[in-house]
Amino acid sequence: MIRFFDIIFSLIGLLILLPIFIIISIWIKLDSPGPILYKQVRVGLDGVDFLLFKFRSMVINSDKRRLLTVGNLDNRVTFSGYYLRKWKLDELPQLVNVLTGKMSIVGPRPEVRKYVDFYSDEQRIVLNVRPGITDYSSIKFRNESELLAQSSNPEETYTNIIMPEKIKLSMVYIKHRNIYQYFKIIILTLISGIKFIDKSSKSNKAQ
């Protein structure tokens, strides 16, 4: 049943958002040299690698310097990328990953192999389901890059503190995985986005 809704939602989303995809694509090309899409190998269902799609938000080859994005002022982030990441618009192409069955709308965020190699046997349970665009951990750690910016050692903070907590939250969904939880997380994600927009709007007015 969940896969059925994944197909319906991703297909409808891609059709409705097509004009936005075109506008974003033009913006990215005008803003900086490089491809429109950023493709990165992530670990998916059953530990199998797949190509995850995002709108490119950084200068080309930036992931060769560092995988983690630290704060809003990370100098690898492009002008357009700053806003795409802020509003989570860079994640929209993952609807293609959902449509092709590599991802789900709801599920644990897929990691790169480097961090999956740190997983304990218990934590590897998150690989038993399709990774997703959003889950409880995505909502809680919406401002992950800002949290890392406050750390003197972002890599250590991520692997020892943030990543384990994200996995715990992801396992909450996995242990109670059903259509109710699926729609609950989608609704909570939308509410979180609306609150963020409202907060940003008030902040801009205050300035």
Can you give the pTM of this predicted structure?
0.90
Say what the pLDDT of residue 57 is: 93
Rounded to the nearest integer, the mean pLDDT of the chain is 91
Q: Is 184 inside a domain boundary? A: yes
Q: Is 205 inside a domain boundary? A: no
Parent domain of 54? 2-199
Q: Is 174 inside a domain boundary? A: yes
Q: Is 207 inside a domain boundary? A: no
Looking at the structure of the chain, the number of domains it has is 1
Centre a 10 Å sphere on the Cβ of residue 128 and count the other Cβ atoms it contains: 12
Q: Is 70 inside a domain boundary? A: yes
C-alpha closest to that of 44 among 120, 104, 3, 4: 104
Query: What gap in Å lies between CA 82 and CA 5, rounded to an integer?
Result: 31
Say what the pLDDT of residue 205 is: 58
Q: Is 206 inside a domain boundary? A: no
Confidence of residue 12 (pLDDT cuts 50, 70, 90): very high
Q: Is 75 inside a domain boundary? A: yes
> Are 66 and 77 within 8 A, CB to CB?
no
Reported as a single tens digit per residue, the pLDDT across 90-124 is 999 999 999 999 999 999 999 999 999 999 999 99
Residue 66 in this model has a pLDDT that exceeds 70: no
